[in-house]
C-alpha cells in the first residue's frame, strides 16, 4: 500500500514523479514540497523559516494561509534557494536531484500524520490499508484538517481545480485514480494503460424512486449521511460516516442503527418511513440542547460524569452519550433531577442519584457504562419522549433508596 500511496500522490502532484518540477509558487519535486513540509521532515531550519516569514509580513500565527501567500509573493522560492536555510548540508539542488531524499521526506511526514491521526481517534490501528493510504494522500494535499473531515464525515473542501478532500481520499479507497490495476504490474509500466482497460460501470443515483439504498450515490445520500452523523448514529464499529454521497456498507449499518432505535424494520434501506422519522428527529431538540425541557437533568448528568475524571470515557462524545442514557433512565423512572453520578463497585456501571448520597431516602437509577456511552443522544431523546408519558399514566412512584432503572 505504500507504493500505491506514493504512485497516487505523485501522479496528482507532479505528473508522475518529476523530481525537479517546480510550480510558480516554488513548491518543488515529485511531492510538490513547500518550506513548511520540508521543515517538518527536518530538511529545512524551522527557526529560520519562521523568521523569514515574519520578516516578509506573513506570520503564520497572524496571517491565514500564510505559507501560500508568502510563496505566491516569491518569498518561499528565495528562502529555499539559499542553502544556508537547509540543514545537514542539504540544498534545493540536492533535494531536486534525489528521489531518495524526496521519498524519505514523504515517509517521515506521512508517519507523523498517521501517529497524530491515531492519537486523535481519526484513524484506528485496525483500519484498512486503503483507508490509511487515502487519508495520508488527502492529508498531503488538503492538509490535516481536510483529511480529518473526509474520514469523519466533515465538510468538503475543494481546491482551485474543484477537487475535494473526499476525492483525494477516494483516489485510493475507491480506486478513483484507476491505479489499482497497475499495482501488481512492473512499476515501470505505470505510464502504460492496460490492453483490457474498461470503464467503471455507472452507479445508480439515489432517490429516483423515493428510496435510498445500498449501492446508490448522489446528494440525497450525502444528506442522509450528514443527518445520521448529526444525530450521532455510527457504523458497526462506532465510527462517524464519511459524507461522500456513496451508500456503502457503513452507511447501511448506521441506517440500521437508527431504525432499531426507532422501532422500524432494520433493513438498512432508507424508505419513506425511515426518511420521515429522520426528518422528525432532525426537527426535535436533543436532550443536549438548552431548548429541550429535560436539558437541566441532562446537564446534571454531564456535570456528575465530568467529576469522574478524564479517564472515565474515551472522549467527550461518549461522556455526553452516557449523560443522555442516564437522563432517559432517570426520566422514565420518575426522577426530576440528577444531583450526583457514582460508578458501581466493579466499575462496569453508573448510578444517577437524586438527593444527598448519605440520605437513605435518595433515589437512583442504574445504567451499564459501555452501553450508555454507545447509545446516541437522539435515541435517548426519542425513547424518553415515547416512554415517559406511558409511565406517567401508570402513576408509579419510585421507592426511596432503591435502584429503579436498569
User: pLDDT tens for residues 148-193?
Assistant: 888 887 777 776 556 777 778 887 887 776 777 666 544 444 344 3
Question: Could you give the number of structural domains in the chain?
Answer: 3
Pair (187, 328) in one structural domain? no
What DSSP assignment string belongs to 107-161? HHHHHHHHHHHHHHTSS-TTS-HHHHHHHHHHHHHHHHHHHHHHHHT----B-TT
Judge whether 399 lies within some domain.
no
b/e per residue 272-298 (b: at least 16 CB within 10 A): eebbebbeebeeeebbbeeebebbebb
Cell, residue 105: 521526506
Judge whether 400 lies within some domain.
no
Judge whether 402 lies within some domain.
no
Query: Which of 172, 191, 210 is where one domain is finished?
Result: 191
Pair (87, 152) in one structural domain? yes
- What pLDDT does residue 26 have? 92
- What pLDDT does residue 390 have? 52
- What pLDDT does residue 174 have? 78
Judge whether 205 lies within some domain.
no
Q: How confident is the model at residue 147 (pLDDT cuts 50, 70, 90)?
A: confident
Pair (254, 352) in one structural domain? no
Judge whether 263 lies within some domain.
yes
pLDDT tens readout for residues 20-45: 888 888 999 999 999 999 999 999 99
Pair (167, 237) in one structural domain? no
- What pLDDT does residue 206 have? 52
Q: Is the pLDDT of residue 109 over 70?
A: yes
Instruction: Tell me the CATH number at 56.
Output: 1.10.530
Q: How confident is the model at residue 217 (pLDDT cuts 50, 70, 90)?
A: confident
Pair (180, 45) in one structural domain? yes
Enter the pTM of the model.
0.48
CA distance 290 to 296: 8
Q: Is the pLDDT of residue 249 over 60?
A: yes
Pair (260, 382) in one structural domain? no
Pair (184, 228) in one structural domain? no
Contact 14, 30 (CB under 8 A): yes
- What pLDDT does residue 16 have? 56
Pair (9, 88) in one structural domain? yes
Q: List the single range of 53-62, 250-259, 343-352, 396-405 with lowest mean pLDDT.
A: 396-405
Pair (251, 316) in one structural domain? no
- What pLDDT does residue 384 have? 87
Contact 5, 172 (CB under 8 A): yes
Instruction: Tell me the CATH number at 268.
Output: 1.10.101.10
pLDDT tens readout for residues 74-101: 999 999 999 999 999 999 999 999 999 9
Query: In degrees rounded to 5, what are phi and psi of residue 151?
Result: -75, -35
- What pLDDT does residue 188 have? 42
Pair (275, 311) in one structural domain? no
Summary mean pLDDT of the chain: 84
Q: Can you name the residues that pair with 350 across neighbouring β-strands?
A: 343, 367
Distance in angstroms between the alpha carbons of the first and the last residue of the chain: 47
- What pLDDT does residue 181 have? 67
- What pLDDT does residue 251 have? 95
Q: Is the pLDDT of residue 356 over 60?
A: yes
Pair (268, 120) in one structural domain? no
- What pLDDT does residue 406 have? 40
CA distance 387 to 40: 55
Q: Is the pLDDT of residue 252 over 90?
A: yes
Mean pLDDT throughout 55-59?
94
Judge whether 137 lies within some domain.
yes
Judge whether 76 lies within some domain.
yes
Query: What is the domain extent for residue 303?
Result: 295-394
- What pLDDT does residue 389 have? 56
Judge whether 320 lies within some domain.
yes
Mean pLDDT throughout 286-301?
93
Q: Is the pLDDT of residue 201 over 50?
A: no
Amino acid at each position: 500500500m505504500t507504493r500505491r500511496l506514493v504512485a497516487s500522490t505523485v501522479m496528482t502532484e507532479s505528473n508522475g514523479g518529476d523530481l525537479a518540477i517546480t510550480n510558480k509558487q516554488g513548491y518543488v519535486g515529485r511531492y510538490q514540497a513547500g518550506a513548511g513540509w520540508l521543515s517538518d521532515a527536518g530538511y529545512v531550519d524551522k527557526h529560520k523559516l519562521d523568521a523569514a516569514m515574519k520578516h516578509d509580513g506573513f506570520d503564520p500565527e497572524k496571517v491565514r494561509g500564510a505559507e501560500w501567500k508568502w510563496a505566491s509573493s516569491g518569498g518561499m522560492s528565495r528562502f529555499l534557494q539559499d542553502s544556508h536555510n537547509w540543514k545537514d548540508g542539504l540544498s534545493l539542488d540536492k533535494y531536486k536531484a534525489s528521489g531518495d531524499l524526496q521519498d524519505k521526506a514523504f515517509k517521515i511526514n506521512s508517519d507523523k500524520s498517521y501517529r497524530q491521526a491515531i492519537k486523535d481517534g481519526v484513524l484506528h490501528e485496525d483500519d484498512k490499508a486503503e483507508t490509511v493510504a487515502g487519508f495520508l494522500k488527502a492529508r498531503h494535499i488538503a492538509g490535516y484538517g481536510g483529511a480529518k473531515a473526509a474520514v469523519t464525515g466533515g465538510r468538503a473542501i475543494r481546491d482551485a481545480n474543484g477537487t475535494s478532500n473526499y476525492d483525494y481520499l477516494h483516489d485510493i479507497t475507491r480506486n478513483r485514480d484507476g491505479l489499482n490495476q497497475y499495482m501488481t504490474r512492473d512499476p515501470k509500466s505505470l505510464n502504460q494503460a492496460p490492453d483490457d482497460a474498461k470503464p467503471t460501470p455507472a452507479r445508480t443515483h439515489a432517490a429516483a424512486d423515493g428510496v435510498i439504498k445500498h449501492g446508490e450515490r448522489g446528494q440525497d445520500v450525502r444528506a442522509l449521511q450528514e443527518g445520521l452523523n448529526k444525530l450521532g448514529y455510527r457504523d458497526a464499529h462506532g465510527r462517524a460516516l464519511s459524507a461522500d454521497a456513496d451508500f456503502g456498507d457503513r452507511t447501511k449499518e448506521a441506517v440500521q442503527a437508527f431504525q432499531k432505535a426507532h422501532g422500524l424494520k432494520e433493513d438498512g434501506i432508507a424508505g419513506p418511513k425511515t426518511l420521515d422519522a429522520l426528518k422528525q428527529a432532525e426537527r426535535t431538540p436533543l436532550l443536549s440542547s438548552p431548548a429541550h425541557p429535560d436539558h437541566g437533568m441532562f446537564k446534571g448528568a454531564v456535570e456528575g460524569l465530568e467529576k469522574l475524571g478524564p479517564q472515565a470515557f474515551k472522549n467527550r462524545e461518549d461522556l455526553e452519550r452516557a449523560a443522555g442514557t442516564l437522563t432517559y433512565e432517570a426520566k422514565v423512572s420518575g426522577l426530576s433531577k440528577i444531583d450526583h453520578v457514582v460508578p458501581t463497585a466493579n466499575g462496569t456501571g453508573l448510578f444517577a442519584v437524586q438527593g444527598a448520597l448519605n440520605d437513605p431516602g435518595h433515589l437512583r437509577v442504574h445504567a451499564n457504562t459501555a452501553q450508555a456511552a454507545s447509545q446516541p443522544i437522539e435515541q435517548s431523546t426519542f425513547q424518553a419522549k415515547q416512554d415517559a408519558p406511558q409511565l406517567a399514566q401508570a402513576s408509579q412512584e419510585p421507592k426511596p433508596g432503591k435502584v429503579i432503572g436498569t
